[in-house]
Amino acid sequence: MKKIQIISTALIGLTLAACNGGGGGNSSSSNASNTSNTPIESSGLPQKSSNSTVNNVVPVTVDGGPSGNSPYNTPFVSVTVCSVSNPTNCQTIDHIILDTGSMGLRIFANKLNSNLNLTNENVNGSPTAECTLFGSGYDWGSIAMANVQMGSEVATNIPIQIINDPTIPGVPSNCSNQGAYNDLGGANGIIGVNPLPYDNGTYYSCSGSSCSINSNINTNQQVVSPVYMFANDNNGVIVQLPNVPSGGSSSLSGTLTFGIGTEQNNQLTAQNVFTSNGTAQDGSFTTNYDSGSYDSIFDTGSTELFFDTPANSPALAVCQSLSGFYCPTSTTAISTQISSLNGSNAINYSYNIINVENYLNSNQNTEAIPNAAAEGGDNFFIWGLPFFYGKKVFSAFTGANAGGASGPYFAF
């Protein structure tokens, strides 16, 4: 049995944070050259007519990752990245984590072909870099410009992050001191489709052997969710995954659909819509649990539900051999109330928590663990990938009219 890991790419504080320093990667190869490029302005959120024949659906797979050793409950998609200067020079990269809890496309430098020739994003003649903080640790890399394609949807000339790009200076201590290095569980990269399209992180300009904070990086120079920059079907996404079979599964297949209410296949069918206040970075909603009220997200990038159980909640013993996971003696239901951030649209929601140790002992070949939960909410309640099994979950971008409802929102 492979080692089980608690992985959360939900962003610290449910917002994208960055280290207060600059620097750059390891010995992996890079394909980013230091040529100047300026990102295009967003053209807004045009709506596509329902008679379109566009392919706005791509597969989602839950499996063992590139090496077979990725954590359980990790959803992957494939992304095609192309050179801006030569749009026919492209590479399709598989096993990119699909993350509804972060923003933007980030790929490890050593997964990119050396001849792809992506160009660095330069601001005032200096290459741009970012230190990105996730719940699982930090990543450092340069910002490059690329065309990004998924299905037949294309985002042109957008900033993406190249993690561990060796052409920029090494990671500084005030970045690495923020936590452990985040290898994304062995994935080739991560694509964030959180309701806030831009990451609003802290960026750096690099020169010589050092990088310094550049507070003049504007919104359209920041890493952005590629979906937001599609010409159409760009107001949100829908993640749909089946239930996990009773005997577990070595892989699980679902779909990622682009757009909400823009095509016949992406109409807003959710019964429960939970809106944010339009200013929260994460588009979060509220979960009330055992007399506590917590900011929450539906997060495909977290491999479990994350919450800290109060003393008077149902007994949820921690596993003996799997540190941090809940292993109740028998499957235990927790009672919650989920609502919009302002308290409206509240519903009562009961969720069963399983004994993870017992499940793995009975289903040793599975890559999907339903109803798994772990400690570590850190005053948040994060509904990780197990929540998505058997559901269709909608995530609408900030400012978008998505299926008749205004984003940001999550819905199911």
| Phi and psi, residue 386, nearest 5° | -55, -30
Cα–Cα distance measured from residue 389 to residue 241, given in angstroms and rounded to the nearest whole number = 5
Instruction: From residue 310, give the alpha-carbon distance in Å to each of 290, 333, 334, 383, 402.
Output: 7, 14, 12, 17, 37
- Whether residue 47 has pLDDT greater than 60: no
Give the pLDDT band of residue 377 (cuts 50, 70, 90): low
How does the average pLDDT of the chain come out, rounded?
A: 85
Which residues are registered as beta bridge partners of 182?
none
DSSP 211-246: EEE-TT--GGGS-B-GGGGBSSS-SEEEEEEPPPPT
- Whether residue 233 has pLDDT greater than 70: yes
- pLDDT, one tens digit per residue, over 123-132 is 888 899 998 8
Looking at residue 84, what is its pLDDT?
96
**What's the whole-number mean pLDDT along residues 75-100?**
97
In the chain, which segments carry CATH 2.40.70? 12-30+55-229, 263-411
- Whether residue 16 has pLDDT greater than 90: no
Query: Which percentage of the chain shows pLDDT scores above 70?
Result: 84
Looking at residue 156, what is its pLDDT?
97
Nearest to 33 by CA among 99, 150, 117: 117
Query: Token pair 């921690």 is at which residue?
Result: 318
**What's the whole-number mean pLDDT along residues 397-401?**
92
Q: Which residues contact 174 (CB under 8 A, 6 or more apart)?
A: 19, 20, 21
Cα–Cα distance measured from residue 273 to residue 252, given in angstroms and rounded to the nearest whole number = 26
Looking at residue 106, what is its pLDDT?
97
Looking at residue 302, what is its pLDDT?
95
Looking at residue 212, what is its pLDDT?
84
Looking at residue 45, what is its pLDDT?
38
**What's the whole-number mean pLDDT along residues 304-325?**
84
Q: Which helix (H) or strand (E) holds 140?
A: strand 137-150
**What's the whole-number mean pLDDT along residues 260-283?**
86
Q: Report whether 70 contacts 187 (CB < 8 A).
A: yes
Query: Mean pLDDT highest for which of 105-119, 213-227, 275-289?
Result: 105-119
Looking at residue 181, what is its pLDDT?
87
**What's the whole-number mean pLDDT along residues 275-300?**
84
Give the pLDDT band of residue 31 (cuts 50, 70, 90): very low
Fold exhibited by the domain 12-30+55-229 = Cathepsin D, subunit A; domain 1 (2.40.70)
With H, G, I as helix, E, B as strand and everything else as coil, classify residue 109.
Answer: helix
Looking at residue 179, what is its pLDDT?
83
- Whether residue 89 has pLDDT greater than 60: yes
- Whether residue 253 has pLDDT greater than 50: yes
- pLDDT, one tens digit per residue, over 157-203 is 999 999 999 999 888 777 788 888 889 999 999 999 999 888 877 78
Cα–Cα distance measured from residue 368 to residue 194, given in angstroms and rounded to the nearest whole number = 22
Looking at residue 136, what is its pLDDT?
79
> In 147-297, where does DSSP find H-type helix?
173-176
Query: Token pair 């990245």 is at which residue?
Result: 81
Looking at residue 25, what is its pLDDT?
31
The Cβ of residue 58 has, within 10 Å, a number of other Cβ atoms equal to: 18
The Cβ of residue 349 has, within 10 Å, a number of other Cβ atoms equal to: 17
Fold exhibited by the domain 263-411 = Cathepsin D, subunit A; domain 1 (2.40.70)
Looking at residue 71, what is its pLDDT?
94
